Structure 1
C-alpha cells in the first residue's frame, strides 16, 4: 500500500518546467533575435553574450548572441596581448526569455594599474598596461611549439584555466607587476580564437 501511494504521489507531482531562452548569433546586429530554446536542466541561466576582438586597435571580430548558459560561464572575461585584445561578456539572468537585450560593450575601459610583460616580435619583455578588470598577468604555453603568449587577463579567465587548457594551451596567471617574465611568442591569432569562440558561444 505504501509503495502504491508513493508511486501515485510521484505521478501527481507537477512537471518541472525548464528555462526558455532566446537563441541567436549575429555578426551584424547588436540586438539579434532568434529562436526560442528550451534549456537543459543544468543550464539555469539565459545569457546575452558578446565577443569582441581587436587587432592593432581595429575591430577584428564582433559577434553578439543569445543562448542558454551554465552559471559558471556568466562573467566578463578578457585577455590582452597588447596588439590583440579579446573581450568576452556573458550577461546572465534566470527567468524565461529574459535575455532579450544585447550584452553591454566593455571594450572601452580605463587602466587598472597593473603592468605585465607582453611579446613584441621574438622578445617578450615589452610593457603592457592592463585595463578594466584585468588585474592578473598571464603566460600561455603551447606544448607543440614551446612558445608562449603573455599579457593581461581577468581573474575569471585565470580561475577557469583548467577548462581552457585544451583550447589555448596551459595558462599560468600571477598577481603583481611584471610577474610573467618573458620568452618567445606563439604565432597565429586564428589558432587561438576559433576554438575559444566555439567554447564561449555554445556551452
Structure 2
C-alpha cells in the first residue's frame, strides 16, 4: 500500500506543482503583449530585463516574462568597454506571481580582474571588469556580411553552455571564454562593432 501511495505521489505531484505564469515575449521593437501560460513542472515564474549602456547612456531596455528554470534566474553582465549589457531576473514560485518587471541593472564597481578589449583593429587594450564579471570573453559576430571581433569581461553564466548557445543562435556569434587576468589575448585583425546587443536579446527568451 505504501508503495502504491509513493508511486501515485510521484505521478501526480509534478502536475499539482505546475504553475500558471504571465508570459510576455518581446518583439524586435522590445514591446510585447502579456498573456498567461501553463508552465512545465520544475519551473518557476520569471521576469527578465536586458539593459545596455554605452558612454554612460542607456541604449536598450527590454523586458520579458515567462516560465523559467532555476538556472535561468540569474544576474549577469557582459562588458566590451564601449558598451555593457546587464541581465537581471526575478523569479517566484506561486501562480501568476511574476507581475512585476525585473529591476533595472546597474553598473557595478571594478572587481580587480582585467581582460583585453578591442578598439577598432587594436585588441590589446585592457579593460577593468565590474561586479560579477569573472571571465574574459572573445566573440566574433557577423553583421552586414562582415565578421567583427569583440573582447571584454563577462559573468560566468554568459559563458555557460546553455547561454552561449543561445547567444550564438542569433547573429552568427562565436564565443570563447577563459578565466584569469588578460587570458583572452589572441590578436584580432577584424574591425570592432560599437555595440553587441542583438545576440543578447536571445537571453530575454527563457528557453
**TM-score, normalised via structure 2 length:** 0.75
Confirm or deny: 8 A CA contact 2:78 2:154 kept in the other structure.
Answer: yes
Larger radius of gyration: 1
The 2-side partners of 1:183 and 1:136 are apart by 19
The equivalent residue for 2:101 is 102
Question: What is the correspondence of 1:8-27 to structure 2 with a 5 Å cutoff?
Answer: 16-17=15-16, 18-24=18-24
Structure 1 residue 81 and structure 2 residue 80: aligned?
yes
CA distance in 2, matches of 1:199, 1:106: 14
**Range with greater deviation from structure 2 (159-168 or 103-112):** 159-168
Q: What is the RMSD of the two structures over their aligned residues, measured on CA atoms?
A: 3.2
Where does residue 63 of structure 1 map in the other structure?
A: 62
Q: Classify 1:92/1:14 alpha carbon distance in 2 versus 1 (closer, same or farther; 3 Å).
A: closer
Aligned equivalent of 2:197, options 193, 197, 202: 193
Return closer, same or farther for 1:120/1:188 CA change in 2, 3 Å cut-off: closer
| Structure 1 residues 98-126: Cα deviation after superposition (integer angstroms, max 9, x where no partner) | 22233223323111111111011211111
Structure-1 residue corresponding to 2:4: none
Question: What is the rounded CA distance, in whole Å, between the counterparts of 1:14 and 1:151 in structure 2?
Answer: 45
On the 8 A contact 2:45/2:96 being kept in 1, the answer is: yes
Cα distance in 1 for partners of 2:193, 2:67 equals: 30
1:111-130 correspondence runs (5 A)? 111-130=110-129
Gaps of 5+ in 2: 1-7
Indicate the residue corresponding to 2:189 in structure 1.
184
CA drift of 1:174 comes to 1.3
Between 181-190 and 72-81, the greater mean CA deviation after superposition: 181-190
Correspondent of 1:164 among 143, 163, 167: 167
Corresponding residue pairs, total: 188
**Gap runs ≥5 in structure 1:** 1-8
Change (3 A) 1:117 1:96: same
Check the 8 A contact 2:150/2:193 in 1, yes or no.
no
Contact between 2:63 and 2:101, CA under 8 Å: does it hold in 1?
A: yes
**Contact 1:150–1:185 (8 Å) recurs in 2:** no
* TM-score calculated relative to the size of structure 1: 0.77
